[in-house]
Amino acid sequence: MGTFCSVIKFENLQELKRLCHWGPIIALGVVAICSTMAMIDSVLWYWPLHTTGGSVNFIMLINWTVMIVYNYFNAMFAGPGFVPRGWKPENPQDSMYLQYCKVCQAYKAPRSHHCRKCNRCIMKMDHHCPWINNCCGHQNHASFTLFLLLAPLGCIHAAFIFVMTMYTQLYNRLSFGWNTVKIDMSAARRDPLPIVPFGLAAFAATLFALGLALGTTIAVGMLFVIQIKIILRNKTSIESWIEEKAKDRIQYYQLDEVFVFPYDLGSKWKNFKQVFTWSGVPEGDGLEWPIREGCHPYSLTREQLKQKADKRVRSVRYKVIEDYSGACCPLNRGIKTFFTSPCTEEPRIRLQKGELILATRGLRYWLYGDKILDDPFVEGTSRIRGWFPRNCVEKCPCDGESDPAPESEKKNR
């Protein structure tokens, strides 16, 4: 309740502009369509006032909707938490381990990163999510993950209602001939007549809502699995990438050192409690973090500085071997590439055979980098930046750089 009150304060009303974006419009539209059609169809299939089961079914539908919308708005309006402008560590000597943000005029606190969309340094930044038009970070990570859990559960319930409604409403309308099967959609053949008539339009709307519910269950469910995995390791998506690049750097230079992620407390339950608490407020202030025994407080930030100074880690040159149209989810690049398309507002770049790409980071089936438009050896040339499928490029044989994919993903190929 305290979080809800903070959302409706006058000074936070300007945050309502976040709703004026394609992400929230689509997300809330899907919630509205599935919830409305599920409630209408539940009246047709299982009238809530006749039986206890019907009442429970209808109350559960309302409950799903309320919890989904609450956690969605909480993730959007409560925000991830920003590093205070002008922030610097209490011990001036610690600033040597931290990066300085010229935009925010402050040092980047441990686990924080600057978001170009929000134009602020975000505490424990995971990613910028277009669906909530905000970053996922320290303060709203729990609400965001709960939304990813509740949305598929609510859609599964709604999908079951859609299927049962179509079955019960069409059962008495089917007429079988010798070579044909006819459906009479002109009138309901049941006594008494339903409160909401189930005609052709209602059937089409229910079928459309069923498709939305099933698609949301699959897509959002996959995102929930990804989030819960990194929460149990007390990591973020960005930190997972930094850790894998650290292992890659050590392996490439054959260094006699081992990188240990400092924020994994060694217990999944302890890591879980860093995000989810009974009060709804995550542990810590977002600036200082408990670390694993034997680790340096700035192990991760020192590794970031090493990677920033290492040009080999920063970019790898690839050559395009197959054309790519720039589609968000390309079916012609394979099923795995289609379903693992990065959930980000960052663009995809169109590629043509023979072009050169400088990849700076990557996933198992996708890479992110710059397309070189002019001479790659002349400074100041223009580039187009974005995501592209891994299977349409190959590493230039002249380069000795390592693959920017995480080491764990290389082994699974």
Residues involved in catalysis = 129
Residue 188 in contact with residue 45, Cβ under 8 Å?
no
Nearest of 72, 45, 216 to residue 142 by alpha carbon = 72
φ, ψ at 179 (rounded to 5°): -125, 5
Tell me the C-alpha distance between 392 and 283, whole Å: 43
Tell me the C-alpha distance between 113 and 262, whole Å: 17
What letter would DSSP give residue 131?
Answer: T
Tell me the C-alpha distance between 336 and 38, whole Å: 31
Task: Using CB atoms within 10 Å of the CB of residue 383, give its burial: 0 to 12 exposed, 13 to 18 middle, 19+ buried.
Answer: middle
φ, ψ at 266 (rounded to 5°): 90, -5
Tell me the C-alpha distance between 240 and 127, whole Å: 12
Residue 349 in contact with residue 373, Cβ under 8 Å?
no
Tell me the C-alpha distance between 410 and 413, whole Å: 6
